[in-house]
Amino acid sequence: MSEYLPCHRPENQTRITDGVCINPLLRPGFNSTKHSDRPDQETSDWWNRAYILEQEYEPSDDTYSGYVTRIKTIGAELGFEVIPEEEWNLTQKENLQLFLNAYSDGKAYTVRILDGGCHDRSSNKGSYPTLDDALAVAKQIK
């Protein structure tokens, strides 16, 4: 497990709004560590403290060839088949449009909290179309 450093502590984050950390620098492995294995200071700092992650749209694959490689390796084991490039391009445009319809400013604001809802990661409390919406939720649950 990576070390919990001072730069990971909530009070040392570079962006805090109304007491809520936005895009905090978390310890590598923060969302893949059993709560019982966490450093005591990390648990003390982050338990029941909501934070927000800003996320721009990211396609699952940057290129059609990347998609083909992924489907032929991992996807084949799951029964997926490669779709034609034209269909893949159309799907990429549709996925982007769906994202922009839900998050009109081009970002999703996801509220998370380390609260025991999951045994080895923070709990997802939803994604919101504006920072103000996410802040309202984060302040309500913290």
Task: Answer yes or no: do 52 and 74 share one domain.
Answer: no
Task: Answer yes or no: do 40 and 13 share one domain.
Answer: yes
What pLDDT shows up at residue 67? Answer: 95
Laid out side by side, the sheet with 51-56 consists of 16-17, 20-22, 51-56, 107-113, 123-128
Q: Using a cut of 0.85, tell me whether the model's pTM lies above it.
A: yes
Does a structural domain hold residue 135?
A: yes
> How far, in Å, are 23, 45, 109, 133, 135 from residue 103 at the CA level?
17, 30, 9, 12, 15
Specify the number of domains making up the chain.
2
Does a structural domain hold residue 1?
A: no
Strands 123-128 and 20-22, sheet pairing: unpaired
Residue 89: give the domain boundaries: 64-102
Q: Tell me the β-bridge partners of 111.
A: 52
Give 142 or 115, the one with higher predicted confidence. 115
Task: Answer yes or no: do 40 and 110 share one domain.
Answer: yes
Does a structural domain hold residue 69?
A: yes
Task: Answer yes or no: do 114 and 52 share one domain.
Answer: yes
Q: Tell which residue, 4, 113, 108, 8, has the closest CA to residue 51.
A: 113
Does a structural domain hold residue 30?
A: yes
Does a structural domain hold residue 27?
A: yes
Query: Taking 90 as the threshold, does the pLDDT of residue 1 lie above it?
Result: no
What pLDDT shows up at residue 142? Answer: 63
pLDDT digits (tens, 9 = 90+) for 71-125: 998 888 888 999 999 999 999 999 999 999 999 889 999 999 999 999 999 999 9
Task: Answer yes or no: do 29 and 97 share one domain.
Answer: no
Task: Answer yes or no: do 132 and 74 share one domain.
Answer: no
What pLDDT shows up at residue 60? Answer: 87
Rounded CA separation 60/76 (Å): 16
pLDDT digits (tens, 9 = 90+) for 37-81: 999 999 999 999 999 999 999 998 999 999 999 999 888 888 899
Task: Answer yes or no: do 92 and 112 share one domain.
Answer: no
pLDDT digits (tens, 9 = 90+) for 5-22: 999 999 999 999 999 999
